[in-house]
Amino acid sequence: MAESRDHNQFKLITTERNIRGDVGDDVTLPCHLSPETSAVTMTIRWFRRTECIYLYKNGQVTERSYYEDRLSLITQEMERGNVSLRMKNIKESDSEDYICQVIHGEQKEEVALCLDVIRGDMLVAWRGSEISSSRSMLRDSGGSRWRFLCELIFICLVVY
């Protein structure tokens, strides 16, 4: 016997789990419903770790004061299931894990993403050796590995 599936059920999908941007950039944390379903009547929450930073419910928006006027959903695309979060003028302190949560009736779906904010002026050079990097290398390398390397180089420079 074939499994029946409620036609109202959906999954939460992201096209990219690791998002990078430079300080001052605007970024989008991508998240959408599959199959394409209107999210207008759903409850949408965005968390930074466990703290709810953005809530959309019944057409009303609540956001944490730290993010005031920096966060928004792409409202004209919610009808097509787009619940991506736009973040304006990102700061280094915005680097963190984020969770998109969508609730409709009894169904609750979540997806996690990571935002890595890079200082655009970051340039590392160590006594003319081969340890140097530019903005493009920063984008290509893993964020946490890069932070560790920067800290390690800094410690070496201070000790040296």
- Let me know if 146 is exposed, middle or buried by CB neighbors in 10 A (0-12, 13-18, 19+): buried
User: What per-residue confidence (pLDDT) applies to 68?
Assistant: 87
* Encoded tokens for 132: 């140097």
What residue type is assigned to position 87 of the chain? Answer: M
**Cα 102 from Cα 59, distance rounded (Å):** 14
130 pLDDT higher than 90: no
- Average confidence (pLDDT) over 117-124: 63
The Cβ of residue 16 has, within 10 Å, a number of other Cβ atoms equal to 12
145 pLDDT higher than 60: no
Tokens 């953005």 -> residue = 54
- From the list 41, 68, 37, the residue with the least C-alpha distance to 54 is 68
Q: Answer for the pair 22, 117: CB distance below 8 angstroms, yes or no.
A: yes
75-94 tens-digit pLDDT: 899 999 999 999 999 999 99
State which H helix or E strand residue 145 sits in.
helix 143-159
129 pLDDT higher than 80: no
> For residue 14, what pLDDT band results from cuts at 50, 70 and 90?
very high
User: What per-residue confidence (pLDDT) applies to 149?
Assistant: 47
Which are the contacts of 63, defined by CB distance < 8 A and separation ≥ 6? 53, 54, 55, 71
The reported pTM is: 0.71
Q: What is the dihedral of CA 55, 72, 94, 140, to 10 degrees?
A: 130
Q: C-alpha angle with apex 33: 31 to 35, nearest 5 degrees? A: 145
Q: Answer for the pair 100, 31: CB distance below 8 angstroms, yes or no.
A: yes
155 pLDDT higher than 60: no
39 pLDDT higher than 80: yes
User: Residues, the chain, total?
Assistant: 160
104 pLDDT higher than 50: yes
Tokens 């946490």 -> residue = 144
